[in-house]
Every structure is written in C-alpha cells, then in structure tokens.
Amino acid sequence: MNILQKNVSKIAYTALLLVLFAAGLLLAQYGPFSSNPNGNKATTGYGSLGGDFSLDSAQGKVHLKDFRGQLVVMYFGFTSCPEVCPTALSSVAASMRNLEPEQAQQIQPLFISVDPARDTLENLAAYSAYFHPRMLGLTGPIEELDILVPKYGAYYRHIPLESSALGYTVDHTSRLYVIDQEGKLVTTIAHGTSVEDMTLLFKQYL
C-alpha cells in the first residue's frame, strides 16, 4: 500500500468514527433512553437489549430468570460512589415504600457493582440492604461485566485518580433498568426522576 492509499484509509477510518460518534449523540438525545415529550422520564427500551445473566451474591449464584413473575429494577454502580448511586438507590427504596406492601413484594431491586475488585459480596450485601431489605447486591468478574453491561445499553469506565487514596473512580450509566415479569427490558428511568413519578411507573408495570 503506497502513502496515498494509507492516507485515504486513515481519512476514511476517521470519517467512520465521526459518523458513529454522531449517531451515538443522536441516540442519546432522541433514542429510547431519552426523556419523552410528556415529561415522564421513563422510556421504552429496544427489544434487542437486555437478556438473562448470572452473577454472584453473598447468598450464592443469582440468575435473572430466578425473578420471573417479579418486576426487576436494576442499577449499575459501585459502593464507593459518592452521590449518584446513593441518590438512585434511595429513590428506588422510597418509591417501593410508597407502594402497598403486597405491591412492593412484587419488585426485586438489584444493585450490580462494576467495581468487583473493591466491592466484596459481603460489603455489597450490607450496602444494598441499607437502602431496602429486598435490594440484592450482585457482581462478577470484569470479563462477565464487560459482556453484561453493554447488553443493556449501559457503560462503565474505571478512571485513575492519582491524588486520591482510592486510586480510581468509576464513571457509569446513571439510569435504572426496569425488567418485566417475563425477563424483558421494558423501560429505563433517568437519574433525577422524582420518587412520585417512579412510584407511578412501578404501579404501571405491576
């Protein structure tokens, strides 16, 4: 390949990356994970997203299919998260407490840690139960998380913190993922959705 051909290939590759980046921005703004025009911050997910998975908990191996017949509310995060994770999990817990007890029993909240190196199963169990006794803390090897997270249209990234004793933090999707009684991803909930709106949405899918 001569120099001209190499330059053309580089330009074509760069153009392709720009197109993909622009498509991603459009999806983020107008796609199934954007807020809808009616003001409800929950949105309908693509049928191609989601799927069963298997992760570890302090009680043993857990499969998504174990919760058939229940509404699953899932969140990706990590226990060292300073603000976003506690806010999201607190909102889920408060919304569940707004429901009738028999309705709350039909919801299974899952907190999936994308920081398995620091979040032990025991710590995850205690952290999750702090927000709600039904909340289950899960995690798994990085290799498994790298497969699972994109399946739900989510992301996470470990970011070094040179001046911090933590060593690194984790940038991650701040949405909640709602999975229906048949194990299908049916909607997502944007960070900052009010407890009242979240409660109404849970009732809608129960």
**Angstrom distance (rounded) from CA 58 to CA 53:** 17
- Would you say how long the chain is, in residues? 206
Q: Report pLDDT for 46.
A: 53
CA 164 to chain centre: 26
Residue 124 has pLDDT above 50, yes or no: yes
Closest C-alpha to 199, from 98, 112, 54, 119:
98
- Assign 34 to helix, strand or coil: coil
For the record, the structure tokens of 96 come out as 């569940």
Please say whether the beta carbons of 78 and 85 come within 8 A.
yes
Given CATH 3.30.360.10, say whether it is the number of domain 42-205.
no
Q: Write down the mean pLDDT value for the chain.
A: 84
* In the chain, where the domains are located: 1-30, 42-205
Q: What percent of the chain has pLDDT above 70?
A: 78
Predicted TM-score of the model (pTM):
0.78
Residue 32 has pLDDT above 60, yes or no: no
Exposure of 151 in the CB half-sphere (CA atoms within 13 A): 11
Across residues 121-147, what is the average pLDDT? 97
